[in-house]
Chain A
């Protein structure tokens, strides 16, 4: 199941994400000294259309940096990031991001937050209303349309963040540890919700996580990253059947995959 990743040839397929030889340095400033920190070195992989890929690794290995580069929020120092055949130079509505802290606009209610991206993109009002209704319903927040973010639990806030991202109908969904701040019970509920929602949309997805179980239950592939510098250590294919539910956790395949992922993580 394991293959060492290689640089991926670029194709013209829409919804395909590819990184080739990507590197990134950050300048660090301390008291009286300025240094450089190699955050990423020669990172190459691809996410095929309708594939769900997780980036898994310890803190500081550059998972979020990779995701921010695909989003266009950061530029690589070396190498290229492409969506389809087009190099990523800036953010765009073809790539929607679900943030770690939900990042909801606190003055907008649930409906306002879900429709925010569509309004920015100047979609027709009728379509905005229809999409908003659909995605609020999809994430199970009917009846909470007029609630402000501060009136919602962490899990509900993340549902709004997910709905906001999906509502603009992006080619690619980028999720940066969206459930990282949630308690274990809510986290499992949100994973189930994401499995259900993703099964309907099958968006090309890149998911950053610290959790091995989360990566295995959600993903088609798991990219294991190592730190200092951040790089891809392994590309593990998850051949568990879809649609998935929690019963799969008891299967021999799930247990074997989890052990394999841990072997990679423990070996570094």
Chain B
């Protein structure tokens, strides 16, 4: 071995995969926000821009009355938003969505978590939940119309039934799928059922709960449009019905675009909150 260079051995912290550093909760939340902007918002906007460009090119190429160009629809949206009545209708519709979604989160959350935690509640409600999950709102809307008449209550009932079911299903699955060993951690320290549920089971279930909340936003917006179309006297649904009767393609596409943008913004809000609350569940190791 004489004359040969010695092998240099460096000592590191055993089995360390990450460099030790000081990071607090604030830094993690900041990282989650940046990740959301980078991975959700920018990617979505880029995809939407591509979609808009394709729409524009196809509309020019086929030159059909039923497909106006993206720019003409955008311009029409601009005109509509300049109209105070339309802004009021949009505001009303968004308000309905938010109220209906809030009730859905509360109702779906309580029912789903109750079913996930207690098998008797599950047995009692599972078939009704399945039923409501698969019945389209166009079927339930007339029933609510008979009960509540031409009112906001009918609209809210359509939104709540449509959105709360998917939230309940996800909450149930989320609570049930928490790993047994995680549930045993508080138990071995002497925690009771309530503490185990509050400190571990619900916390561990949150990422999947948020998947339900995300799907619920989409269904709340759909429920709002279907409900308003059915009632046909209020909000964006009234505008949509009017454009349909006049065969105004540009008007119909404009309402669709406004609804898509509203739904996207709402879903981004849910995803942003998800990214902050469940930052531990996303992203790779550092």
A and B: real partners?
Answer: yes
| Distance in angstroms between the alpha carbons of A156 and B17 in the assembled complex | 9
When the two chains form their complex, are residues B191 and A150 in contact, meaning their CB atoms are under 8 A apart?
no
| Distance in angstroms between the alpha carbons of A72 and B184 in the assembled complex | 11
When the two chains form their complex, are residues B18 and A168 in contact, meaning their CB atoms are under 8 A apart?
no
Give the shortest distance, in Å, between B231 (CB) and chain A (any CB). Answer: 43
| A142-B20 contact, Cβ under 8 Å, with A71-B188, A150-B285 | yes
When the two chains form their complex, are residues B24 and A146 in contact, meaning their CB atoms are under 8 A apart?
yes
Contact residues, B1-60 vs A (CB, 8 A): 13-18, 20-24
Give the shortest distance, in Å, between B5 (CB) and chain A (any CB). Answer: 25
* B232: Cβ under 8 A from any A Cβ: no
Q: Mark A89-111, 1 if CB is under 8 A from B, else 0.
A: 01111011101110101110000
When the two chains form their complex, are residues A143 and B199 in contact, meaning their CB atoms are under 8 A apart?
no
* A50: Cβ under 8 A from any B Cβ: no
| Distance in angstroms between the alpha carbons of A249 and B186 in the assembled complex | 38
* B78: Cβ under 8 A from any A Cβ: no
When the two chains form their complex, are residues A107 and B203 in contact, meaning their CB atoms are under 8 A apart?
yes
Contact of A156 among B15, B204, B278 (CB under 8 A): B15
| A151-B190 contact, Cβ under 8 Å, with A106-B281, A146-B23 | no
* B121: Cβ under 8 A from any A Cβ: no
User: Which chain A residues border B185 with CB–CB below 8 Å?
Assistant: 99, 103, 105, 116
When the two chains form their complex, are residues B17 and A152 in contact, meaning their CB atoms are under 8 A apart?
yes
User: Which chain A residues border B128 with CB–CB below 8 Å?
Assistant: none
When the two chains form their complex, are residues A143 and B21 in contact, meaning their CB atoms are under 8 A apart?
yes
| Distance in angstroms between the alpha carbons of A193 and B187 in the assembled complex | 27
Specify the chain B residue showing the minimal Cβ separation from A100.
Answer: B181
| A168-B189 contact, Cβ under 8 Å, with A99-B184, A101-B181, A189-B15 | yes
When the two chains form their complex, are residues A91 and B15 in contact, meaning their CB atoms are under 8 A apart?
no
| A120-B191 contact, Cβ under 8 Å, with A105-B182, A105-B185, A146-B24 | yes
| A106-B204 contact, Cβ under 8 Å, with A101-B181, A120-B199, A146-B23 | yes
When the two chains form their complex, are residues B15 and A99 in contact, meaning their CB atoms are under 8 A apart?
no
Contact of A103 among B20, B181, B281 (CB under 8 A): B181
Q: Mark A58-77, 1 if CB is under 8 A from B, else 0.
A: 00000000000001110000
* B280: Cβ under 8 A from any A Cβ: yes
When the two chains form their complex, are residues B15 and A186 in contact, meaning their CB atoms are under 8 A apart?
yes
Q: Which of B16, B203, B204 has the most CB of A within 10 A?
A: B16
Q: Which of B22, B179, B203, B285 has the most CB of A within 10 A?
A: B285
When the two chains form their complex, are residues A91 and B190 in contact, meaning their CB atoms are under 8 A apart?
yes
Sample of 19 A–B contacts (CB below 8 Å): A72-B188, A73-B184, A91-B187, A91-B190, A99-B181, A99-B185, A103-B182, A105-B203, A105-B204, A106-B204, A117-B189, A120-B186, A143-B21, A147-B18, A147-B20, A147-B286, A148-B280, A153-B16, A189-B15
